[in-house]
Structure 1
Amino acid sequence: MDRILLAHGNGGKLGYELIKSLFLASFNNPVLAQLDDAARIEIASGHLAISTDCYVVNPPFFPGGDIGKLAICGTVNDLSMRGAKPLYLTVGLIIEEGFPLPDLETITASMATTANEVGVQIVAGDTKVVEKGSADRIFINTAGIGMIPEGINVSGANARPGDKVILSGTIGDHGIAILSCREELAFRTTLESDCAPLNQLVSQILQVCPHLHCLRDPTRGGLATTLNELAIQSQVGMVIEEARIPVREEVQGACEMLGLDPLYLANEGKLVAIVPASETDKVMEAMLTNPWGQNARVIGEVQASPSGMVLLKTEVGSTRILDMLSGELLPRIC
């Protein structure tokens, strides 16, 4: 393969292989090699978390949010997945010539509102305008810095056999909300993206379980890909129970109609927590009291083997390998 495909950007198997074979090989260092959602940097007064992300979602306005809200939430969540308190963000805008100024005002207002709600400051930025046809309306890059509290060491490499796997809520909401805009799908009830900042939820979890092992938000590639990434990082196996995974009726119906699997759909306001078995009840109690964790479920367990693999116990009683996303499911999802 000598060309980049759309599938390289979907957060699945091809993207993971590209990171390992090209980017990690070119930029390799001990911090980057951890392959977590944010880098953990040691400084004299403690540890910083640093993360960056780009947002190209199509369309830029969707039920439950817009590209501006998504950009702030995405980077805040990546910092939070290392146990950090998000503090500062930078924003870079690439805008296509002819983009409506009122739409840009709406997006920047959404970013400001979300940042204020989270308690982070946008402290630097850049704007570029490209010729009409050289981009698709608007792309946003955000980078963030947060402070990791003393004693907190959350990483995708920390899962241990016997740990429980907790999912904070329903999956696939964002993916189907975006698809409904593109394909003009109608539902009996309003289906919105789950786009939300998770820093307060993470803070509540760490208050009751400071020795939490792993956190990860299942965005591109969905829950299935995220679980595989954690299993590979920690060199453990996982067994997940399909019947315990919450899926909204509208999402399940859309997936059945379109031939999609909700396990591979993007989410923008959910997290996976891997916790010591003895701490499970405390973590669940903390999550259920938070609006972004009120549908939390224990969905599985970490095992010693098969290392780097995730097994799914299906609702019909069989067991199958749950692999990373392969191919392109929904491009331009975030």
Structure 2
Amino acid sequence: MNKPYIHKITSKTVTMAHGGGGKAMRDLIEDVFVSRFRNPETGDMEDQARLDPGDLIRAGGRLAFTTDGFVVDPLEFPGGDIGKLAVWGTVNDLAVGGAVPKWLSAAFIIEEGMDIEHLRAIAQSMRDAADRAGVAIVTGDTKVVPRGAADKVFITTAGVGVIAPGVELAASKVQPGDVAIVNGFLGHHGATILQARGDMQLESDIISDCAPLNALMQAAMRAAPNLRCARDATRGGLASALNEIAAASNLIIRLDEQALPLKADIRGFCEILGFDPLYLANEGRLVLFVPPSEAEAALGAMRSVPEGVDSVIIGQAHSGKTPRVEMRTTFGGTRIVDMLVGEQLPRIC
């Protein structure tokens, strides 16, 4: 049960004074953010987080560092919100590199007129998401911009994690014969965002797959010690992630259309609107490559974690003259799966 928070702000919306550097700004920061993110172990209201490097030094590992921005429209959608995206998106960027995520920062660009209670809910969602992923939000910043200069709130996060000695995941390490595995059904986030905007007047029970993937990655790495690489299939979908891996490894990646994990409602959604589900965004899906001898062990480990219960093998890497992604279709033919050109959906994360 969440503890009650003391509300210092009496106004119902954010004003320009909340970004002016004075008492109003201090009240906003303490009310909305510090009360939820406070972590005495990393410093208390200083201009920087003070982190204990003990875990890194004892492990003899390296730091992983990533940053990302989040501008999703709408801010809330079935299965998630901008707060969860900001935390878990950054956690996942660390996790697919083999890192154990540790610390996050969060910067908020807030539009004048933003509802204070709405902002509190986003901050609480971020705290809950951080707790689930086992990370701490340790530092941040707020700026208030005039009406029309943003869309309610934009969030930028950065994350730091620890990579254990011997872990060297990279797309260039994929070898011919390696097996491609995804951890569940594809396309749900992109479809959810479009539906939540109400533009298409479609009714469906599709919800975003928004989820943290660090526990899943650690389970897969333990089961498959020669795991080559992983990518989270966010903007540009699975197709873009696989094209990046094919280019970096100089290999052909062949998919089996019948093996792709697609639910009937996603197939129908894409048929109606003319979308290709391979390009739809995901926020809780990754693709990883392992040697064929470790594929079953990786699958079993991934399926033992809630975020990976629907994991399946979807294809394999092969040598060839021109790196690309191919798919064997249900009709017995083969088609090229190119990198996404342009955008299918704007502002999905």
Which TM-score tier does this pair reach, normalised by the shorter chain? 0.7 to 0.9
Aligned residues of 2:59 and 2:165 also touching (Cα < 8 A): no
Matches within 5 A, 1:92-241: 92-183=107-198, 190-241=205-256
Give the letter for the 1:181 counterpart.
Answer: A
Largest Rg, 1 or 2: 2
AA at the equivalent of 1:107: I
Deviation at 1:327, TM superposition (A): 1.8
1:89 counterpart (83, 104, 110): 104
1:67 matched residue in structure 2: 82
Q: SS at the partner of 1:88?
A: strand
Partner AA of 2:122 in structure 1: I
Deviates more, 1:257-266 or 1:178-187: 178-187
2:275 to 241, 249, 260: 260
The 8 Å contact of residues 325 and 337 in structure 2, kept in 1 or not, is answered as yes
Secondary structure at 2:212 match in 1: coil
Q: Under a length normalisation based on structure 2, what TM-score does the superposition of the two structures give?
A: 0.81
Match of 1:36 in 2: none
Q: Is the 8 A contact 1:42 1:48 kept in 2?
A: no
CA distance in 1, matches of 2:341, 2:151: 25
Partners of 2:132 and 2:157 in 1: how far apart? 17
How far apart are 1:189 and its partner, in Å?
A: 5.5
Deviates more, 1:152-161 or 1:135-144: 152-161
Pick one of 284, 288, 293 that aligns with 1:278. Answer: 293
| 8 A Cα contact 1:152 1:211, kept in partner | no
Gaps of 5+ in 1: 1-40
Comparing both chains, which one has the higher relative contact order based on Cα–Cα distances under 8 Å and sequence gaps of 6 or more?
1
Q: CA RMSD in A?
A: 1.7
2:60·2:164 contact (CA, 8 Å) conserved in 1? no
Distance 2:342 2:94 in 1: 28
TM-score, normalization by structure 1: 0.85
How many percent identity over aligned positions?
47
**Aligned counterpart, 2:67:** 52
Q: How much does 1:188 deviate?
A: 6.7
1:297 lines up with 2:312 in the alignment: yes
> May I ask how many residue pairs the two structures share in their alignment?
294
Which ranges of 4 or more aligned residues in structure 1 deviate by more than 4 Å? 41-44, 184-189
Aligned to 2:33: none
